Amino acid sequence: MSRAPRVGVLALQGDVREHLAALARLGVDAAAVRRPAELAAVHALVLPGGESTTMAKLARTFELLEPLRARVAAGLPVLGTCAGMILLADRVEDGAVGQETVGGLDITVRRNAFGRQVDSFEEDLQVAGVDGPVHAVFIRAPWVEHVGEGVDVLAQVEAGPAAGRIVAVRQGPLMATSFHPEVGGDSRIHALFLSGAGLT
């Protein structure tokens, strides 16, 4: 492996630039991934926020969906945020008709669980493995309805009508958040992902 791990960001749609910036702050070699050859060259991958159905369709169009599934099955460390959480989930509630996912994470997510765009909100969360509160931004976010046996819950909503809902999980090399850790200048969630994947 090169001195700095190469971490890709799936660059079909969504918050690509913000994730690249968060990774760059940690000193990793961050690269946009749009083609199978680019996917093959990374040691880890971020699936960004965006629109999960659009991202899955574009991944199929760009012939990335099956290579993504194969690399996840082979143990590629992946961080999924918001729509990326949906893409990593094995099961989706309230999904679009025929919605596809990459899968690999033994969770059931509920799409748009917190409501529409106008229901977006921000909250400080305690995240296992991170010192101090994390300022979490939720935008048309999913939440986790059910976790499988091997899935660790890292964070839950702490107040309001959604209190107790699971919004961050980890299973082996896979990690996912309902919120957008790439918003703002805090790279601690990305650092937690990389350290758990053995890349720092």
| Catalytic member of 19, 100, 182, 190 | 182
CA quadruple 149, 95, 39, 70: dihedral sign:
positive
| Catalytic member of 19, 43, 180, 190 | 180
Residue 110 C-alpha from the chain's centroid = 15
- Amino acid, single-letter form, for residue 174: L
Contact 36, 69 (CB under 8 A): no
Active-site annotation holds for 149: no
* CA 97 – CA 99 distance, rounded (Å): 5
Active-site annotation holds for 190: no
Q: Looking at the chain, list the stretches that DSSP marks H as alpha helix, in order from N- to C-terminal side.
A: 16-25, 36-40, 52-61, 65-73, 83-88, 188-196
CB atoms within 10 A of CB 108: 16
Active-site annotation holds for 19: no
CB atoms within 10 A of CB 128: 11
Angle between helices 52-61 and 65-73 in degrees, nearest 10: 100
Residue 70 C-alpha from the chain's centroid = 17
- Amino acid, single-letter form, for residue 113: A
| Catalytic member of 18, 19, 43, 82 | 82
Q: Which residues are tagged catalytic?
A: 82, 180, 182
